[in-house]
Amino acid sequence: MTTQPPRGCGSIHADYFLLCDMDQAWGIVLESLAAAGVLVTVFLICSLFFLICKVQDNSKRHMISIYFFFLLGILGIFGITFAFIIRSNERIRPTRFFLFGVLFALCFSCLLIHASNLIRLVRGKKPFSWPVLLLLIVSFALVQVVINIEYLVTMLVKDRNTFLNMASEEANKDFVMLLIYVLFLMALTFLVSIFTFCGPYKSWKRHGAHIFVTVLFSIAIWVVWITMLTRGNQSLGKTNWDDPVVAIALVSNGWVFLIMYIIPEICFLTAPLKLGDYPPENDFCQPTFIKQSTGVDNHAYTQDEIVQGMMIDCTAPSPKHRCTTHKLKEVEELKRKEVEVDK
């Protein structure tokens, strides 16, 4: 017995009817938004490679690795949306359980590491190097990978039929329980992002504001979809809304990541540096020498200004901007020689 394809669909399998069903348009709308998100994400990844050579500040250049992994996570979020539009079967259900948590763990790990790095930058401290940033991101994301693998291996090996034919209410509870670590990452990122507003360098605080707003909207989205999935749909008697609720959450959160975080971050990536907003990158003090006036009588006065200039530069707030005792001794020796020449 064959199922009559709905309006808008041709001769395709019944599991894929929601991708083209004109009567249930939510599938078409969500897949269109997800496809648009994929195109925008791919464009941003290409733009990121193009902008690498144009970034002047090393602290910003180290962030590119975070942006790249974050964009990969967004690309996966838009891609997995199609798995919730397609009807659940023995291939789709394990994919849903595994990729959903892993992709969000990757995104929130990037936001957490970025916020942690900003806490150092807003206070004028040396940021983490890019290998350290990558190691931390991969380490945080791998925890969710291990959790999901253990669950799927246990369920598929122990009782495959029970897992594949699990009731929707029980499957939803297991699905949410697998995301406890992601919820922990989200809460931790929100807390850490608050501390990015404490520091003398205002421009780095703007990057912290992007993370704060992004996580705030993500928390709101997650509270709504988890509530609807575990209680709301059952209370309303709409058990067939489970997949649309999760698909809407995926598309919404993906676009929140794009609009409120990654697009502003890439826009500010090549923005010119303003004096006082970012700490200087010089490792040593570099005094500004005043143009020497003509005449022998001005040598001592000129050297006094050089020493004063070095002392002023040495009071810069950045820990990188330090003068060594060796430099000061060289200037003092130069001053003594000039005085002896004048005599």
- Rounded to whole angstroms, the maximal C-alpha distance in the chain is 113
For residue 136, the surrounding DSSP H or E stretch is: helix 130-158
Q: Say if CB 200 and CB 123 are below 8 A apart.
A: yes
Q: Which two tokens stand for residue 37?
A: 């998100």
| pLDDT of res. 292 | 45
Global pTM reads 0.77
Q: What is the mean pLDDT of residues 55-70?
A: 84
Residue 327 φ then ψ, to 5°: -65, -45
- Does residue 307 have a pLDDT over 70? no
> How would residue 284 be classed by pLDDT, with cut points 50, 70 and 90?
very low
Residues 6+ apart with CB under 8 A from 179: 100, 101, 104
For domain 14-267, give the CATH number: 1.20.1070.10
Residue located via tokens 């002047």: 56
Alpha helices, DSSP H only, in 56-126? 58-62, 64-85, 92-121
- Which range has the top average pLDDT, 249-258, 278-287, 298-307? 249-258
Rounded to 5 degrees, φ, ψ at 284 are: -130, 165
Q: What is the average per-residue pLDDT within 279-307?
A: 45
**Residue (of 141, 156, 158) closest to 97 by Cα position:** 156
**Confidence bin at 52 (pLDDT 50/70/90):** confident
Q: What pLDDT is attached to residue 281? A: 46
Computed on alpha carbons and rounded to an integer, the radius of gyration of the chain in Å comes to: 28
* Residue that has been written with the tokens 């001592």 in this structure: 300
Over 90: is that where the pLDDT of 43 sits? yes
Q: Residue 137 — φ and ψ, nearest 5°?
A: -60, -50
Question: Is 70 exceeded by the pLDDT of residue 27?
Answer: yes
- Reported residue count of the chain is 343
Looking at residue 277, its pLDDT comes to: 53
Average pLDDT over residues 85-95: 88
Residue 246: which pLDDT band, with cuts at 50, 70 and 90?
A: very high
Is the predicted pLDDT of residue 135 greater than 80, yes or no?
yes
Q: What local confidence, expressed as pLDDT, does residue 330 receive?
A: 62
pLDDT at 244 over 80: yes
Average pLDDT, the chain: 81
C-alpha–C-alpha distance, residues 195 and 211, integer Å:
11
How far apart, in whole angstroms, are the C-alpha atoms of residue 96 and residue 334? 72
Name which of 184-193, 198-207, 309-318 the model is least confident about.
Answer: 309-318
Among 82-96, 108-122, 193-207, whose mean pLDDT is lowest?
Answer: 193-207
Single out the residue of 120, 108, 38, 81 nearest to residue 247, CA to CA. 81
Summarize pLDDT for 138-195 with one digit per residue, the tens. 999 999 999 999 999 888 877 777 777 777 788 888 899 999 999 999 999 999 999 9
Instruction: Residue 331: count other Cβ atoms within 10 Å of its Cβ.
Output: 16
More confident of the two residues 322 and 80: 80
Tell me the range of 119-123, 143-147, 166-170, 290-294 where mean pLDDT is highest: 143-147
- Calculate what percentage of the chain has a pLDDT beyond 70: 78
DSSP string, 61-74: HHTHHHHHHHHHHH
pLDDT of residue 262: 94
Instruction: Report which of residues 180 and 22 the model is more confident about.
Output: 180
Average pLDDT over residues 214-219: 96
Check whether 276 has a pLDDT greater than 90.
no
Range with the poorest average pLDDT among 89-93, 99-103, 118-122, 235-239: 235-239
Burial 282-301 (b: 16+ CB within 10 A, else e): eeebebeeeeeeeeeeebee
CB atoms within 10 A of CB 317: 12
Confidence band (pLDDT; 50, 70, 90) for 304?
low
Angle at 15 between CA 12 and CA 21, to 5 degrees: 70
